[in-house]
Amino acid sequence: MDPPQAHIAILPSPGLGHLNPLVDFARRLVTDHNFSVTFLIPTDVPPTQTEKSILESLPSDSVDHIYLPPVNMDDLPKDTKFVTFLTLAVTRSLPSLRTILKSLVSRFSRVTLLVDLFGTEAFHAAREFNVAPYIFYTSTAMDLSLFLHMPHLDETVSGEYRHLTEPVRLPGCVPIPGTELFDPLQDRTNDAYKLVLGNAKRFREAEGIILNSFKELEPGAIEALLRNPEPPIYPVGPMVNMSPRKNDAESSSLCLAWLEKQPRGSVLFVSFGSGGTHSLEQIKEIALGLEMSGQRFLWVVRKPFQVKKEDGTTYFDRNEKPSFDFLPDGFLDRTKEVGMVMHPWAPQAQILAHPSTAGFMSHCGWNSSLESVVNGVPVVAWPLYAEQKMNAIVLSEEMKVALRPKARENGFVEKEEIAKVVKSLIKGEEGKELRNRIGKLKEAAAKTLSPHGASTKAFLEVVAKWKNQ
């Protein structure tokens, strides 16, 4: 094979949900198309072991990864929104990004910069070095459509979206109630909103947008996006990183051994993503609801968010020692025959692929949703933050593969409701219908990724562009 000429610099914003699909994408570029890749990882805290091991799983002869010098966020107020951190992690890394881009263009004849949805501030630096900027969109076509329409909505909608009496209608998408829109849109006076809007305005400057979805999942939204190809959009999904990680080894063997002992198609997997958790009351209620359902479960539980760290953050620490003292008294004992509780991390991709897994109670992060699709596992949709409520709409109303538990006005879901949806998903007629539907989407996912499938074609178009620009 010829030595690689075309080089891709990938700048993910912090977080596993952004890194995971880009790792799968990079793997295909280097193993099937002879590209070389440099991951540029912006950091404000040291990268986690999980992030490191995912990057280290890539072939080291053609993939380099550079941790950009940590940026300082100490000046930001305590109540700063997560999206602000994500965007500023990129913005404040621009000086080091410039230095690296300069060195890459001196070494490779063609360099492309690929950022995710919060990284468009880097476009300017790319243009300075004649590097073509692209976006890898890690979420749904519906969410991409929202980003592309945001500048127009900003000018035409008055007041807060959450006060709108009519849902927001995006071309080809299920209508979205204002309260379910991407979190930073809920307060237009907040810096997070302004940063997201700034990103959205730069979307049209991209040379192309690579979308981690495919037509059978969101036909209306994708057709509408492809009708107005400015910039061109490439639906290449599902890009799902299924490879086991090095540091999953111990927990993997424990929980996969437990799954092995359960009857086929009997277990509900419960996990709320890489960063989310609930209040103490809600966690206790989830425990009681699972118990009441009488179904088998494998639950990755995290400390409730009242247990804040000293700096006020509500994010759990993956290195914390397991402790389940916040669960209801006697719960672990009473459910030990039917349930396994883990903390704080599980080999999700392997669990969803296991034949004992029958359902997934999920926060609806888009990677988790795609992992459900490729494994044909129906969902209890329980969104927490970011664009997860929009994803829940896609799963339950567009794809019709998820049940959404009914919550009280304050968002609290009662144990009776939890038990009802879990039973219905695992044992009920409704669950059977959802399973059939997601089974068809699983087949569609395999087809679209096959040599003549639509996602493969879109992927090859990107490859051809990057090799020839």
Candidates 64-72, 105-113, 267-275, 415-423: pick the segment binding ligand UDX (CB under 6 A).
Answer: 267-275
Q: Which residues are catalytic?
A: 18, 116
If one asks whether residue 199 binds ligand UDX (CB under 6 A), the answer comes out as no
Which residues 339-368 are close enough to bind ligand UDX by CB under 6 A? Answer: 345-346, 348-349, 365-368
Asked if residues 368 and 387 have their Cβ atoms less than 8 Å apart, the reply is: no
CA dihedral (242, 248, 253, 254) positive or negative: negative
Asked if residues 112 and 338 have their Cβ atoms less than 8 Å apart, the reply is: no
How many residues line the site for ligand UDX (CB under 6 A)? Answer: 26
If one asks whether residue 238 binds ligand UDX (CB under 6 A), the answer comes out as no
The smaller minimum CB distance to ligand UDX, of residues 96 and 247, is found at: 247
Taking the mean position of all CA atoms in its chain, how far away is CA 93? 23
3-state secondary structure 409-423: CCCCCCHHHHHHHHH
The smaller minimum CB distance to ligand UDX, of residues 6 and 173, is found at: 173
C-alpha span between 468 and 110 (Å, rounded): 8
Candidates 14-22, 25-33, 189-197, 255-263: pick the segment binding ligand UDX (CB under 6 A).
Answer: 14-22
If one asks whether residue 274 binds ligand UDX (CB under 6 A), the answer comes out as yes
Asked if residues 108 and 96 have their Cβ atoms less than 8 Å apart, the reply is: no
Question: Binding ligand UDX by CB under 6 A: which of 300, 341, 419, 445?
Answer: 300
If one asks whether residue 296 binds ligand UDX (CB under 6 A), the answer comes out as no
Show the site string, 378-417: x = touches ligand UDX by CB under 6 A, - = not.
Answer: --------xxx--x--------------------------
Extended strands (E) in 318-407: 339-342, 357-362, 379-381, 402-403
C-alpha span between 436 and 376 (Å, rounded): 8
The smaller minimum CB distance to ligand UDX, of residues 19 and 403, is found at: 19
DSSP state of 430: H
Token pair for 235: 């639906």
C-alpha span between 154 and 189 (Å, rounded): 12
C-alpha span between 33 and 47 (Å, rounded): 29
Question: Binding ligand UDX by CB under 6 A: which of 38, 62, 138, 424?
Answer: 138
Question: Binding ligand UDX by CB under 6 A: which of 12, 14, 17, 237?
Answer: 17
Residues that bind ligand UDX (CB under 6 A): 15-18, 20, 138-139, 271, 273-276, 300, 345-346, 348-349, 365-368, 371, 386-388, 391
